Amino acid sequence: MAKVVIDAGHGGNDPGASGNGIVEKEYTLKISQYIYDRLKDLGLDVKMTRTTDETLSPTERVDRVLDAFGNDSDVIVISNHINAGGGDGAEVIYALRNKNTLSNLILRELESEGQNIRKAYQRRLPSDTSKDYYFMQRNTGNTEAITIEYGFLDSKGDDVNQLKNNWKNYAEAVVRAIVEYLNLSYTPVPGENYYTVVSGDKIFMGNNEQ
């Protein structure tokens, strides 16, 4: 049975980044809840590090990751974040101990939902380059720990509108990537027939073409 831990980045006293009507801790929680519900429906074993607006220290967060299904290499950890710093597009960070297969699948699926993708990358700790830079990769044992930055809340491009309007589609993209990675069968959301608006689309409202 496939095991997945979903981590909603930040929370409680730590809102993460905020701007343009987006608070990171709120988006990470709703994206995480969505992915959790879908993976559960698809029959995977899945747990969350937090389900409320809760403050978690890095140590508490990592403990919850490792306590969920144990410190095993077949446990997938998805840590959800919203970026800041003025860029545009999605990034995925993966651990030094892992290959980039799942990260690339995630980026490809996000791209299929209209998000532009930047890169999947590993980052090393300058003081000890045998270790990962970010605690979510460094301190999560043997698990396959991935951090997803869905887009920039301070983007001068289209990320702000995309995050607000398309976050569910991006969460579904991650669900598809995980299911594909695990060679399980994917079923779309029952009754859902959603469409992602991408730039260049003509949107008809009443008789007025906008």
State the residue number with the nearest CB to Zn ion: 81
Contact residues toward Zn ion (CB under 5 A) are: 9, 16, 81
In sequence order, the β-bridge partners of residue 5 are 47, 77
Q: Quick one: 81 or 138, whose CB is closer to Zn ion? A: 81
Minimum Å gap between C-beta 34 and Zn ion is 17
Q: Which tokens sit at 199?
A: 């730039």
Q: Quick one: 16 or 44, whose CB is closer to Zn ion? A: 16
Give the integer Cα–Cα distance in Å for 210 and 193.
22
In sequence order, the β-bridge partners of residue 86 are none
Q: Quick one: 69 or 80, whose CB is closer to Zn ion? A: 80
Minimum Å gap between C-beta 10 and Zn ion is 6
Minimum Å gap between C-beta 43 and Zn ion is 30
Q: Which tokens sit at 151?
A: 């887009």
Length of the chain: 210
CB 25 within 8 A of CB 61: no
Minimum Å gap between C-beta 79 and Zn ion is 9
Q: Quick one: 50 or 81, whose CB is closer to Zn ion? A: 81
